[in-house]
Structure 1
Amino acid sequence: MRHWMICSALIACSQVATFAHAEHAYALWGQPRYAADFKHFDYVNPQAPKGGELRMVSNLRYSTFDKYNPFTIKGSPPAYLADMLFETLLAPSLDETATGYGLLAEDVHVPADGMSATFRLRPQARFHNGKPVLAQDVKYSYETLLSKYVSPGYKTLFAEVDSCDVLDDRTVRFRFKKPNRDLPLTVGAVLPVFSRDWGLGSDGKPKPFDQVVVDTPIGSGPYKIGPVKFGRDITYVRDPSYWGADLPVRVGAANFDRVTIKIYKDNTARLEALKAGEFDLMRINSAGDWARRLTGRRFDSGELVKGAFENKLPSGFQSFFLNTRRPQLQDVRVREALGLAYDFEWMSRQMFYGAYQRVHGLFGNTACETHGSPTEAELALLKPFEASLPPGTLGPIGQPPRTDVGDGLRGNLRRAQQLLAEAGWTLKDGALRNAAGEPMVIEYLDSGDSARLISAWSRNLEKLGITLKLRNVDYALYQQRMDKYDFDIVTLNVPGTHNPGQEYAELFGSAAADQEGGSNYVGLKSRAVDSIIAQMAAAKSEQQMLPACHALERIIVQGHYLIPQYYSGTHRMVYDAWRLALPGQIPAYSPGELWAVYTWWAK
């Protein structure tokens, strides 16, 4: 993410490595928005006062936490812990895409061959225990996150990183297996850095990382863990000695002395607590709540305000994920038929108050979004695998079925019946059965409150002879079953990106399909997908990246591995206008609550 020219000789490790042409930032495409001498990001208030408390509520699926380690596979960490306590070598800005500015690193060098990225750490960078952040800590963090105790997503993310080398106390170099413009940004802005002292045993030796559970994390961020009601509420307190307060990437940020995250077991309890003044900020995920239930004295007085903050974030792809490891979901015609029974237009009218738009694929609201027929560049990526591609991949990209045009739902269900019959399923004794006489029964796994959201879909599937069973479990069992891919269908909301890369191998790559605790939930194994993701990650320009993005999206869409749901182009948040102030400029790529945590302040 930054550019450095390495001197011809790197002296012995005990000496300091020197560089020429080191850069303050790294931009994936083009030039960084902010010059080397910038004072602060445009979307912050550099005069924002420090102090006060922000009280929030956790909107995470799980209602409690049982550990402080956010990286290990087992257990649930507190909301926002990783964002509050750990820092990266580079920090993104919220008003541009694919750019990182020096945070722990004061500069970065990526040579012309793209085979490495070298970061020089700031001499003032300090962990919460007062020790300096050193290159050995970066290497330790990197190697720990590749261990067997950590989510395998990190292994996939860093699969093309060959090594992490300590050049001297403050200089670390990541070597890559092949040129990849995205990797400097990945290792720079994604890799969390923590102290080697975190998790030391009584003998002074590091414990196995899976045994680092409730040990207080030692990060370098502006906040530390404060008062805790373990398993319930947690407060993060601003470190008055925070080393980076005057950095351009931190000026006007981290303004609250305390950020308290409260936990409530259900949505009704959260809403009533908001109205009662229990907290100051809440993101609203329910269209019904936003339209009808945010009422009362505190709203009437203007104390509580509904803020719909528009953004230019990718739409992501919240979808039903269909597990093709299950025999009944292996036929693409069956998967397409299930999608034909999903009536989004009815849900939009009756349940969502028109607040959401339909997801169309993987890359909505970005340059990667795919339209029409494949270009010659896309065909060059797809045709070598033509025999194994889903039907229609080389034609115009499919769109989610609609029920407000043509023959509507009735026509969609007739088409679904035809597809199911072609796949060998027939209606007998009121149930859809295969050649062995087994009925089609599909389980929808959930740990929340999805009964209302799938009820209409379930009724439509019944018309086809398909039984959709809702299995609601607690979060611990839900996570256990997800880790083992023990489900038929789940809903997942995957955030989008303007610059997709190696992370998509974790979602759809063959190697991830058999990794317990991984994220290839659909179980896809495809040489075409593997090849295309590799080319997408290795693209040296946006012009090279886009055909690979489009080719991948075509395969996933035409393979009906996902049934697209919906998204909102706004962050809907209720906040206490008497206690909180916010900057006048809303950054285009604001992440919602974390934007408030880091750039708002107490009145």
Structure 2
Amino acid sequence: MKRTLLATTLLFPVVAWSALPDDVEWLTNNDEPLFASPEAKFGGTLRTSIASFPQTFRTVGPDGNGAFRVWLLDKQPQLLQRHPDTLKYIPDIATHWAFGDDDKTIYLKLNPAAKWSDSKPLKASDFSYMLKLYRSKDIIDPWFNTYYSTQIERIDALDDHTVEIVFSKEMDHDALLYFTHRLKPRAEHFLKPRADKNNDGVDDNFVRRFNFKPEPTMGAYYVGKIKKGKSITMLHVGEDWWGYSNRYYQNRYNVEKVRIKVIRDNDIAFKHFEKGDLDIYRLGRAELWYDKSQSEPFKKGYIHKFWGYNQMEIGAGSFWLNTARPMLDDINVRKGIALSLNVDGLNENIFRGDYSRKPNGLGIGQGAFTNTDLSPLPFDIASAIKSFELAGFTHVGSDGIRSNAKGQRLSFAVTYSHQIVTPRLAYLKEQAKAAGLELTMNLVDGSSAFKYVLEKKHEISYHSMGTAPRPQYWEYFHSANAGKPQNNNFTNYSTPELDVLIMQYRSVFSTSEKERLSREIQQQVHDATVIVPGVMSPYIREGYWRWMKYPANPMQKKTEALFTIGRLDDFGVYWIDQDVKKATLKAVKKGQAFEPVTVVDKRYKP
């Protein structure tokens, strides 16, 4: 008996679709609440910033996983979406879906209005081409090659608007929807090869040819004007964008342009914001929210403040210990480091107690996939010293730093990407000295830092990763990725036992069994102490000039950002009120003030 999962059942005639089963049962869901505002106005230019210019405009291949990727691929439409509050599946590129009888196949009916940003119509074969692209050696991306060769058997276009996806293993309907819904097409007409010696349909010179050549998108915005190293302007397709035929996209993505300026220093970016050269700014840091927001533009009500709670999944991070580097292959050294990091003190003294400690290094908030029995090692100097001594670091030098019989100093460089992190690491560095541990700070600019870590040059990397409702482990901990560059095994850690669990996790049919395996994997990684959990915040804090508007209920459970800030994904529900902007600029010129405004949305506070 077929399940009608999270959807309304519809029956469609299938005479023209001979490849479809005769009894195919189409599902859709147009009944979830809308979260944009009918008061939204179209037009205007949003001015925002990023800390570094992207190393490439590709989203696969070397350096293709950078911060700007969210604009190019991550926030682009996909086959299906999950409603950001109810979490039920809703239409996106696909209007309907149906399950095959083999527990491996799913059929999707595409929105016939869907077009690429260059006005070419979307074809079902663009999904077939996606699979061809990701399997090609020409993209120089082993992760994509492996995943899409092993997880998906085939993707076929049954006609211009109907896709059949057959996975490599049997899964329950929850899993089929999950692994289907995030798939995004690639524009075959744009990527067609000039040279194809291996006859795989992908340009032999793909990496170089498309390094700074942005592809057409399915979204409301595409890359327009580029000033290399200085700025990128995203242009709206227009009010006739195909997405507005979907009720869930109506009244969203309202600004005509998004001008993204490269400002490498956060303090300088904040000054641009205060002057009105940027419309929005993230106020996540305590000193921004509490101290720097006491300046005149805030006091006179020109700039408003917003604090909204969410229930986002928290990804893996914060301190990744590279076990391929000297001394870090010793678990006693790794435990000593974890015990030497005063993360709770960091929260109280630097973050003013607004954050909380991550329970484990692999993230939280993924339902039964998360092992809730885990907790981080506490700050404990005495226990840290015992661990270091077990590792042979028994000698304490005149500078207070320990060394072993080989003369190796207990000293590690922490790689990080932004200057604002420096005070945090400086605090931890001073605290760790009490255990005889020296932490040196290795600041590598912006996107270059992630490349540095991908190439496994780090000893300790301080960064966190995004995640999804179902965690992935193969790229982080399978031996196939250990010791190799350009993948997410930042710790270079793997074991035969983990390999077995990870492959079982990838292949198991039942979602409940996958959840159990996830918890077991998290336990083993936790016991290995290769990721030391840092802090997390179940909220967003942003500043905005008073002409920026948003719905009366701005937050959804999965709202990651209210406005388009940096690499954070937003739902595009904001707009610019040009009349308010004119009035505000006039008031600024005359020195007139408005009432200061701070908005706090606690609907999803834990």
Can you list the C-alpha shifts for 1:243-262, whole angstroms capped at 9, x where unaligned? 22121231222222222222
Partner residue of 1:52 out of 29, 33, 44 = 44
Indicate conservation of the 8 Å contact 1:115/1:178, yes or no. yes
- Give the 3 Å change call, closer, same or farther, for CA 514–174 of structure 1 in structure 2: farther
The one-letter amino acid paired with 1:267 is N
1:188 partner SS = helix
The 1:6/1:579 distance shift into structure 2, 3 A limit, reads closer
Cα drift, residue 524 of structure 1? 1.8
Distance 1:91 1:476, change over 3 A: closer
Q: Residue 174 of structure 1 aligns with which residue?
A: 165
Matched, 1:590 2:559: yes
Q: 2:549 corresponds to which residue?
A: 580
Between the aligned partners of 1:5 and 1:152, the Cα distance in structure 2 is 40
Contact 2:72/2:217, CA 8 A, preserved across alignment: no
The structural deviation recorded for 1:332 is 1.3
The Cα shift of 1:543 comes to 3.4
Counterpart position of 2:222: 224
Report the Cα offset of residue 266 of structure 1.
0.7
Instruction: State whether residues 84 and 224 of structure 1, in contact with CA within 8 Å, keep that contact through their aligned partners in structure 2.
Output: no
**Map 1:172-571 → 2, pairs under 5 A:** 172-181=163-172, 184-185=176-177, 187-200=179-192, 207=203, 208-211=205-208, 212-240=210-238, 241-361=240-360, 362-368=362-368, 369-372=370-373, 397-402=374-379, 412-430=380-398, 431-449=401-419, 450-475=421-446, 477-500=448-471, 503-538=472-507, 540-571=509-540
* Deviation at residue 46 of structure 1 after TM alignment: 4.0
1:599 to 2:585 alignment: no
Q: Which runs of 5+ in 2 are unaligned?
A: 578-606
Deviations 1:227-269 (CA, angstroms, capped at 9, x unpaired): 3323222222211232221212312222222222222111101
SS where residue 510 of structure 1 aligns?
A: coil
Is the alpha carbon distance of 1:567 and 1:105 closer, same or farther for their aligned partners in structure 2, counting shifts above 3 Å? same
SS where residue 108 of structure 2 aligns?
strand
CA RMSD, 1 decimal? 3.1
C-alpha deviations, 1:326-351, integer Å up to 9, x for none?
23011211111101111122212221
In the TM superposition, residue 278 of structure 1 has moved relative to its aligned partner by: 1.0
Per the alignment, residue 128 of structure 2 pairs with: 139
Match of 1:388 in 2: none
* Alignment partners' CA distance in 2, 1:363 and 1:202: 43
Shifted more, 334-343 versus 314-323: the winner is 314-323
Post-superposition shift, 1:226?
2.7
Q: Which shows bigger deviation, 425-434 or 306-315?
A: 425-434
- Tell me the residue number matched to 2:583: none
Which 5+ residue runs of structure 1 have no aligned equivalent? 26-35, 373-396, 403-411
1:342-369 alpha-carbon deviations (Å, 9 max, x no partner):
1122212221111110011134344334
Inter-partner Cα distance in structure 2 for 1:476 and 1:37? 39
SS state at 2:241 partner = coil
1:438–1:45 CA distance, 2 compared to 1 (3 A): same
Q: Structure 1 counterpart of 2:576, which letter?
A: A
| Separation in 2, partners of 1:77, 1:566 | 21
Structure 1 residue 184: Cα displacement:
3.3
CA deviation profile, 1:523-574 (whole Å, cap 9, x unmatched): 1212332333344445555533332222122112121111110011111111
Q: What SS does the corresponding residue of 1:512 show, helix, strand or coil?
A: coil
* Counterpart residue identity of residue 439, structure 1: R
1:562 is aligned with what amino acid? I
User: Does the Cα contact within 8 Å between 2:102 and 2:170 map onto a contact in 1?
Assistant: yes
Match of 2:99 in 1: 110
Aligned to 2:89: 100
**Distance change >3 Å, CA 574–CA 201, structure 1 → 2:** same
- d(CA) in 1 for partners of 2:447 and 2:74? 24
Contact conserved, 2:550 with 2:575, CA < 8 A, in 1?
A: yes
Aligned length: 550
**Does the 8 A contact of 1:2 with 1:23 survive in 2?**
no
Q: Report the secondary structure of 2:480's partner residue.
A: helix
Q: Which moved more, 1:43-52 or 1:301-310?
A: 43-52
Cα separation, 2, equivalents of 1:522 and 1:19: 50
Which TM-score applies when normalising by structure 1? 0.83
Shift of the 509–110 alpha-carbon distance from structure 1 to 2, 3 Å rule, reads farther
